Structure 1
Amino acid sequence: MSRICLYYKREAEGDRWLVGDRYIRHLARRLVRGKSRLSGIEKVFANLCLGLDKLGIKYYINLPFNQLHESDFVGVLGAGKGCLNGYRKSNSIVAGIGLMTHPSEWSTLCKDYPIVKYLQHSEWANNIYKPYFGDRCQIWAVGIDTETWQNQQTIMKTTDFLIYDKIMWNYDIKSKQILRPIRELLNDKGLTFKELRYGSYNPQDYKNILSSCRSMIFLCEHESQGLAYQECLSSDVPILAWDQGEYLDPNRFKWGDPYIRATSVPYWSNRCGIKFQNINEFPNKLEEFLDNLSSQYFAPRDYILNNLTLEKCAKNYLDILLNI
């Protein structure tokens, strides 16, 4: 009988200074930071499993490769080449999200293993992989937990905006060019705001702050999917999003891709909010946003419920897996 066999393996951490110090460093991080947060790719895997659970689909996680049957379906997420070490089966594999940052880092993947599909979350990211993996490339978005992320109607909205700061590159410069003028304009208009910096909070902090904010300003250069902003939409909080339009990872020059079109909000409709390309556009877009907000035009949760629930996205993954 065929089984659904899913794999998620993180890149093994190596010793840095002394033999075995990777274990000491891991313990130290746990003591200082508390329980570690899920990384983006870990959350993708967790939400996929939650979706399959909701569909009542049985699956196996990280079954030893030598225990695979010929009829089993295999899906592999992870980070780095180590996630497929020891795989010597003929079973076709649906790979991705996240085995590499750029396909040039593992251009022989589909020769090394029987990969029949390589998944990326959105169109712009998928376009990066097509020159390397061709027709194997396919788009798949993971679902959002709409039960956890929903409108907290019993909590009063006391703050106009949450500024979600996920500026990734040239932070000192970009924060002066983008973040500082936004703060100043909001203050000038008497609009209240709170701020969160990506990587410095836990999910409950984010959920609590969102529940008290009427809207969010999302500052990130680009997202292949963008779970945090979609959790905001699921919470029925509309977004004013910086969408500057290019992939700005400095490694793009090393990869030979100096110009790549990209977006910070790959899953979006006009009912989710409004986008601005640069700080010069921001004042007018802010006024337009506030007008739409006061007229109750926005319906961001509806977009997530129609497109990105756990069940819908897990079903999409299952369709890809079972049709290979």
Structure 2
Amino acid sequence: MSHINLFYSEPDPDRWIKFDRYPRRWIRRILRGKPKPGGVMMVALELIKGLELLNIPYRFNDYKYAKQHPEELIGVIGKPHLIFERRFKNPILFGAGVFSHPIECPDLFQKYPNVKKILVPGEWMKEMCEPYYGNQVKSWAVGIDSNLWESTNNKPKEYDFLIYDKVRWNYESLKDELINPIYKILKEKNLSYHIIKYGNYIPSQLRDMIEMSKAVIFLCEHETQGIAYQQILSTDTPIFAWDRGGFWQDPYYYPEKVKFQPVSSVPYWDNRCGLKFRDINQFNELLPQFLDQLQNHNFEPRQYILENLTLKICTQQYVDIYQSLL
């Protein structure tokens, strides 16, 4: 098999003067330590891990090779700055990091005809992009390392729930409407819980907290893929997920620029994963059912991951898409 050519870099533009990104990067490293990989970087890292598992050869950020072989397909994983800045001559498989919304570049295929297909992380985002990009957009999810995120069923459980808080917008309002009422209901039912907040942990801390928890309450407005909740499922930990649906809520776009619905906070899911609730009333209504199914071992979240979202399965899907464009 020929090499897969992959490219990824974090956007890091100059801010005040030319080339100031370099000292700013150095200062950030000193003040904040080694940066934690975000969602798009995780796509690149896990895809590479999957290629190595499958023994598929690849080149990573080999700009010299791409320039010398402009006829060879490349995969640009991250945000579009690489396409805009590098001006590749090569045919491109773009994604799954892409734009938040196609209005950022509705004429992408006209400006960059060497882009052959766009990958987005999930089905509802694909539907959001199709009016702009038609059948040139495809849904693809990066795989979950099911060996790293192994079952924790043999671990002693100190807490009934881990609450994973990834609420991003209108936090004070949702704290009153949803988050604090959840705490209150759990306390009233003598259910113990601890809390982890998105962006404030490293993966080992999440694994440690999952080990101590019988189940997870996942709070997020919507996810395009949702790597963290899928890592939780891979540990065989069922999830009680807030999935209110409705409009895409990103305040940069909604409601003035974009109104798109429906969205989901758990776009990859079946009834083995757990239960979903729309609001605090449904949380209260369905909590006894969730606890009953949890007690009776009716959920099989890890099996869902092993059948659909492992590193090998998802990486092979990427390779198949890549090779279809050769």
Same fold per superposition (TM over 0.5): yes
Matched residues in 1 for 2:127 and 2:153: separation? 40
- Alignment length (residue pairs): 321
Map of 1:274 onto structure 2:
275
Matched residues in 2 for 1:287 and 1:254: separation? 36
Map of 1:81 onto structure 2:
81
Map of 2:33 onto structure 1:
34
Matched residues in 2 for 1:103 and 1:274: separation? 32
Map of 2:50 onto structure 1:
51
The answer to whether residue 133 in structure 2 is matched with residue 139 in structure 1 is no
Change (3 A) 1:260 1:251: farther
Structure 2 SS opposite 1:215: strand
Displacement after TM superposition at 1:81 (Å): 2.8
Matched residues in 2 for 1:267 and 1:169: separation? 22
Structure 1 SS opposite 2:7: strand
| Gapped regions of structure 1 (runs ≥ 5) | none
Amino acid corresponding to residue 318 of structure 1 in structure 2: V
Amino acid corresponding to residue 266 of structure 1 in structure 2: P
Aligned identity (percent) is 40
Map of 1:206 onto structure 2:
206
Change (3 A) 1:255 1:310: farther
Matched residues in 1 for 2:174 and 2:297: separation? 32
Displacement after TM superposition at 1:100 (Å): 1.5
Amino acid corresponding to residue 234 of structure 1 in structure 2: S
Displacement after TM superposition at 1:77 (Å): 1.2
Map of 1:301 onto structure 2:
302
Matched residues in 2 for 1:68 and 1:212: separation? 51
The answer to whether residue 121 in structure 2 is matched with residue 121 in structure 1 is yes
Q: Is the Cα contact below 8 Å between 1:104 and 1:255 reproduced in 2?
A: no
Q: Is the Cα contact below 8 Å between 2:76 and 2:82 reproduced in 1?
A: no
Deviations 1:271-324 (A, max 9, x none): 100000011111111111001001100010000000000000000000001011
Structure 2 SS opposite 1:241: strand
Change (3 A) 1:31 1:25: same
Structure 1 SS opposite 2:195: strand
Matched residues in 1 for 2:229 and 2:41: separation? 17
Displacement after TM superposition at 1:101 (Å): 1.3
After TM superposition, list the pairs within 5 Å mapping 1:3-18 onto structure 2: 3-16=3-16
The answer to whether residue 186 in structure 2 is matched with residue 192 in structure 1 is no
Displacement after TM superposition at 1:182 (Å): 0.3
Matched residues in 2 for 1:134 and 1:97: separation? 16
Displacement after TM superposition at 1:88 (Å): 4.2
Displacement after TM superposition at 1:214 (Å): 0.6
| Gapped regions of structure 2 (runs ≥ 5) | none
Deviations 1:133-185 (A, max 9, x none): 11101111110000110123453111100000000111111122111000011
Q: Is the Cα contact below 8 Å between 2:128 and 2:260 reproduced in 1?
A: no
The answer to whether residue 289 in structure 2 is matched with residue 288 in structure 1 is yes
Matched residues in 1 for 2:203 and 2:31: separation? 18
TM-score, normalised to structure 2's length? 0.93
- Structure 1 vs Structure 2 CA RMSD: 1.8
Structure 2 SS opposite 1:151: coil
The answer to whether residue 256 in structure 2 is matched with residue 252 in structure 1 is no
Amino acid corresponding to residue 276 of structure 1 in structure 2: F
Displacement after TM superposition at 1:256 (Å): 3.4
Structure 2 SS opposite 1:9: coil
Matched residues in 1 for 2:176 and 2:88: separation? 52
Displacement after TM superposition at 1:254 (Å): 6.7
Q: Which moved more, 1:172-181 or 1:215-224?
A: 172-181
Map of 1:62 onto structure 2:
61
Amino acid corresponding to residue 92 of structure 2 in structure 1: I
Amino acid corresponding to residue 79 of structure 1 in structure 2: K
Structure 2 SS opposite 1:66: helix
Amino acid corresponding to residue 132 of structure 1 in structure 2: Y
Displacement after TM superposition at 1:131 (Å): 1.1
Change (3 A) 1:162 1:69: same
Matched residues in 1 for 2:236 and 2:58: separation? 32
The answer to whether residue 168 in structure 2 is matched with residue 160 in structure 1 is no
Map of 1:226 onto structure 2:
226
Matched residues in 2 for 1:100 and 1:92: separation? 19
Matched residues in 2 for 1:38 and 1:88: separation? 25
Structure 2 SS opposite 1:57: coil
